[in-house]
């Protein structure tokens, strides 16, 4: 894998950008594929960067095997020539993106890499202190497969850094467009799932004004079969369904109270919570965040869904099974996802 990097800093001699007490998103990675559609994420990334005085890293991955085909580049010399041409084109492209008005007065760097897209991005994230990845869900045809297929799945499942995926039809609002921002965070009761909380709170604080920022904690309790509940009640004198519901409620209440006394209050974010019952975890989550029968282009109850692809029961299976695929592929909302590393 080859790498070319350049650093730029736009400065007008003064700055009134408020600095966060605890920097969260110090370095923001924006992968681009060369399409205008992918570049639509730049204003959002720039807005977050201005809020936290962050550095933006623009990157383009050159995958010559995907572009040309392995059968046509057997010779090492030809491979190198093709790589040099594509890296030069990528450099010219990123140089042009640097002139985008949204990036003015922001510290920005560009990096060109070659190799498998997903593997290279993950290596970049792990090698550098990247705090947030911001990307669109569509670009060129190949980029769409990257975002919605196996490469996106690998990014989301393996990235220890939060990944923010912007949508076309229901983009995450920010600045003056975010009048009443509502972010839903799906939790399962595990410490690993809670690693998405801080990124969600800081994202809410960046995108909307105080008193217009809400982070809602959601936990889904799977509906049990009636005969199982009845049998458990007869043997143990305990309504198992109600017990699980109460346990989830107490958990979310404790988390929300703790956040509202500490981090959320400092950031000007209001934390709320609710518990829902459902037989299908993914379907219930999507219903909660999008409404019962969403109509195209009408406002949805929430602006973004945040979750960790690691957790205890339900969320642990999202990362590898049909629940995860349905959340990622069928939810219309922008997503904020993290795959936290396991302790030890």
Sign of CA dihedral 44, 50, 51, 55: positive
Taking a C-beta distance cutoff of 8 angstroms, is the pair 105, 10 a contact?
A: yes
For residue 33, the model assigns a pLDDT of: 85
Query: What is the rounded CA–CA span in Å between residue 113 and residue 117?
Result: 9
Domain check: are 86 and 182 in the same one?
no
**Has residue 293 been placed in a domain?**
yes
The total of structural domains in the chain comes to 2
For residue 318, the model assigns a pLDDT of: 43
**Has residue 320 been placed in a domain?**
yes
Taking a C-beta distance cutoff of 8 angstroms, is the pair 219, 254 a contact?
A: no
Domain check: are 83 and 49 in the same one?
yes
**Has residue 343 been placed in a domain?**
no
**Has residue 232 been placed in a domain?**
yes
Domain end, chosen from 140, 166, 192, is at 166
CA distances from 301 to 27, 207, 232, 318 (A): 30, 17, 36, 22
Taking a C-beta distance cutoff of 8 angstroms, is the pair 153, 118 a contact?
A: no
Burial class (CB in 10 A: 0-12, 13-18, 19+), 101: exposed
Render each residue's pLDDT in the chain as its tens digit; 344 residues: 445 454 444 333 323 233 444 568 999 999 998 888 889 999 999 999 999 999 999 999 887 665 555 555 455 566 777 778 888 999 999 999 999 999 999 999 999 998 888 899 999 999 999 999 998 876 554 555 455 446 666 777 788 999 999 988 899 999 988 889 999 999 989 888 899 999 999 999 999 998 899 999 999 999 999 999 999 999 999 999 999 999 999 999 999 999 999 999 999 999 999 999 999 998 999 999 998 765 666 789 999 999 988 755 444 444 434 566 678 888 889 999 998 877 65
CA distances from 216 to 110, 118, 186, 211, 226 (A): 36, 31, 9, 14, 30
Domain check: are 133 and 18 in the same one?
yes
Domain check: are 249 and 313 in the same one?
yes
Domain check: are 277 and 183 in the same one?
yes
**Has residue 99 been placed in a domain?**
yes
Q: CATH number, domain at 96?
A: 3.40.50.620
Taking a C-beta distance cutoff of 8 angstroms, is the pair 109, 100 a contact?
A: no
**Has residue 92 been placed in a domain?**
yes
Domain check: are 10 and 153 in the same one?
yes
**Has residue 321 been placed in a domain?**
yes
Domain check: are 85 and 211 in the same one?
no
Entry pTM? 0.86
Domain check: are 193 and 280 in the same one?
yes
Residue written as token pair 């681009």: 32
Query: What is the rounded CA–CA span in Å between residue 16 and residue 23?
Result: 16
Distance of alpha carbon 304 from its chain centroid, rounded?
A: 9
Domain end, chosen from 118, 147, 166, is at 166
Domain check: are 319 and 181 in the same one?
yes
Can you give the chain as a three-state secondary structure string? Answer: CCEEEEEEECCCCCCCCCCCCCCCCCEEEEECCCCHHHHCCHHHHHHHHHHHCCEEEEEEEECHHHHHCHHHCCCHHHHHHHHHHHHHHHHHHHHHHHCCHHHCCCEEEEEEEECCHHHHHHHHHHHCCCCEEEEECCCCHHHHHHHHCHHHHHHHHHCCCCEEEECCCCCCCCHHHCCCEEEEEEECCCCCHHHHHHHHHHHHHHHCCCCCEEEEEEEEEECCCHHHHHHHHHHHCCCHHHHHHHHHHHHHHHHHHHHHHCHHHHHCCEEEEEEEEECCHHHHHHHHHHCCCCCCCCCCCCCEEEEECCCCCHHHHHCCCHHHHHHHHHCCCCEEEECCCCCC
* Domain range enclosing 72: 3-166
Domain end, chosen from 115, 131, 166, is at 166
**Has residue 344 been placed in a domain?**
no
Tokens at 102, concatenated: 């949204």
For residue 6, the model assigns a pLDDT of: 45
Domain check: are 185 and 315 in the same one?
yes
Taking a C-beta distance cutoff of 8 angstroms, is the pair 139, 151 a contact?
A: no
Domain check: are 156 and 203 in the same one?
no
Domain check: are 99 and 229 in the same one?
no
């Amino acid at each position: 894998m080859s790498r070319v990097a350049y650093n730029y800093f736009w400065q007008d001699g003064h700055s009134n950008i408020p600095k966060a007490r605890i920097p969260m998103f110090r370095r923001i990675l924006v992968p681009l594929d060369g399409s205008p559609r992918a570049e639509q994420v730049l204003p959002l990334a720039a807005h977050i960067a201005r809020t936290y005085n962050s550095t933006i890293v623009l990157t383009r991955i050159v995958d010559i095997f995907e572009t040309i085909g392995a059968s046509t580049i057997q010779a090492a010399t030809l491979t190198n020539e093709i790589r040099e041409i594509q890296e030069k084109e990528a450099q010219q492209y990123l140089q042009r993106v640097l002139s985008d008005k949204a990036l003015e007065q922001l510290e920005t760097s560009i990096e060109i890499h070659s190799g498998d897209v997903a593997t290279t991005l993950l290596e970049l994230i792990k090698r550098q202190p990247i705090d947030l990845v911001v990307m669109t869900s569509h670009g060129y045809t190949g980029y769409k497969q990257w975002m919605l297929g196996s490469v996106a799945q690998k990014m989301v499942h393996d990235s220890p850094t939060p990944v923010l995926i912007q949508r076309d039809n229901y983009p995450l609002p920010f600045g003056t467009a975010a009048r009443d921002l509502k972010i839903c965070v799906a939790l399962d009761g595990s410490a690993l799932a809670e690693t998405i909380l801080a990124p969600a709170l800081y994202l809410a604080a960046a995108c909307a004004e105080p008193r217009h920022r809400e982070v809602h904690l959601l936990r889904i309790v799977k509906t049990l079969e009636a005969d199982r509940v009845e049998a458990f009640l007869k043997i143990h004198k305990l309504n198992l369904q109600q017990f699980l519901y109460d346990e989830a409620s107490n958990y979310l209440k404790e988390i929300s109270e703790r956040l509202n006394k500490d981090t959320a209050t400092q950031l000007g974010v209001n934390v709320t919570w609710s518990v829902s019952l459902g037989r299908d975890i993914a379907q219930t989550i999507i219903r909660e965040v999008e409404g019962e029968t969403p109509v195209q282009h009408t406002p949805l109850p929430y602006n973004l869904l945040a979750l960790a692809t690691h957790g205890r029961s339900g969320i642990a299976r999202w990362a590898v099974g049909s629940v995860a695929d349905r959340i990622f592929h069928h939810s219309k909302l922008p997503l904020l996802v993290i795959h936290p590393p396991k302790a030890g």
